[in-house]
């Protein structure tokens, strides 16, 4: 025996079917009526132009079969709505961590001695470079290195200092050990404590109270502060102990015991090591 569906129920079902058909038709009409736009994609070294009905940048790239990693950059953003003529640029980003070994230069420690002929250099201990391992994070965009970040540094081998003994003379020759902190090329002249170099009224004392002579140099305090320890190649140990009216800029006046020695030295370019006590 067949059961009869009430008329009210039949009417409700028919209404639902009609509503579903209208909704589906509206969706199809919406899809059909959505206007096409032209977009340009620049990625992987190429330029592509295409016509699409996609509404977002992500939809365009997906429909173009464009694979994106989580690090890649997209402009405009993926969620942006697509406009006609929009330019979509994909930048491929890659990062890697590398370890690079770098040498650590050794220092040269200078010691001065009155027992060695002035100007002679005697190596007491040879130097040996050290080594460090530096971990970097490298960031590439479209294959080009754009950043290099230091992650860690580890010293795997300590450098060994080179120690040299340098012959010098004079009452101010130091017995300590020094490191070079700055090297200057300077025009050097020479003087003696007598009146022919320092004038008839010279007291024989320098600006910081030292007796003028071998091992005492006149400098421009704006270049080398008074009291600084120096090593002058071809001369020996010296103290920046005086200033002179004609000593300006990269000039230095080196003391000698006699006028004959000062005149023999003459005027020449020298290498001056600015020292720091070890």
Average pLDDT per 10 consecutive residues for the chain, totaling 278 residues: 52 53 48 76 93 93 92 94 94 96 93 84 93 97 95 96 88 84 95 77 77 91 94 90 88 92 92 90
The CATH T-level fold of domain 172-277 is: Barwin-like endoglucanases (2.40.40)
- Residue-level pLDDT at 31: 44
CATH 2.20.230.10 positions along the chain are: 95-162
State the DSSP H helix or E strand holding residue 7, giving kind and residue range, or none if neither.
Answer: helix 7-33
- Residue-level pLDDT at 140: 97
Please, which residues bridge with residue 38 across strands?
51
CATH architecture of 37-91: Roll (3.10)
- Residue-level pLDDT at 19: 53
- Residue-level pLDDT at 222: 94
**95-162 has CATH 3.40.50.300 classification:** no
Assess contact for 192 and 263: CB atoms under 8 A: no
Cα 212 to Cα 193: distance, rounded to the nearest angstrom: 5
How far, in Å, are 186, 212, 230 from residue 243 at the CA level? 15, 11, 15
- Residue-level pLDDT at 175: 79
CATH 3.10.20.30 positions along the chain are: 37-91
State the DSSP H helix or E strand holding residue 60, giving kind and residue range, or none if neither.
Answer: helix 57-63
Cα 59 to Cα 44: distance, rounded to the nearest angstrom: 19
CATH 2.40.40.10 positions along the chain are: 172-277
SS3 32: helix
Within 118-158, strands assigned E span: 121-125, 130-141, 144-157
- Residue-level pLDDT at 27: 45
> For 35, which DSSP code?
P
């Amino acid at each position: 025996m067949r059961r009869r569906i009430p008329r009210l129920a039949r009417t409700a079902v028919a209404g639902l079917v009609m509503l579903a058909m209208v909704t589906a038709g509206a969706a199809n009409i919406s899809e059909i009526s959505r206007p096409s736009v032209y977009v340009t994609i620049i990625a992987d070294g190429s330029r592509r132009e295409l016509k699409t009905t996609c509404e977002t940048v992500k939809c365009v790239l997906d429909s173009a079969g464009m694979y994106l990693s989580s690090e890649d950059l997209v402009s405009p953003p993926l969620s942006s709505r697509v406009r006609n003529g929009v330019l979509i640029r994909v930048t491929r980003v890659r990062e890697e961590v590398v370890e690079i070994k770098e040498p650590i230069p050794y220092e040269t420690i200078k010691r001065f001695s009155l027992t060695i002929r002035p100007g002679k250099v005697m190596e007491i201990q040879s130097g040996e470079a050290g080594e460090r391992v530096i971990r970097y994070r490298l960031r590439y965009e479209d294959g080009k290195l754009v950043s290099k970040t230091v992650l860690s540094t580890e010293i795997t081998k300590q450098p060994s200092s080179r120690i040299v003994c340098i012959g010098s003379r004079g009452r101010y020759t130091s017995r300590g050990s020094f490191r070079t902190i700055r090297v200057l090329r300077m025009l050097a002249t020479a003087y003696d404590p007598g009146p022919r170099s320092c004038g008839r009224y010279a007291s024989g004392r320098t600006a910081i109270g030292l007796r003028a002579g071998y091992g005492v140099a006149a400098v421009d305090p704006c270049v080398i502060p008074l009291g600084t320890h120096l090593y002058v190649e071809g001369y020996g140990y010296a103290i920046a102990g005086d200033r002179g009216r004609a000593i300006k800029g990269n000039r230095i006046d080196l003391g000698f015991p006699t006028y004959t020695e000062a005149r023999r030295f003459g005027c020449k370019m020298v290498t001056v090591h600015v020292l720091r006590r070890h």
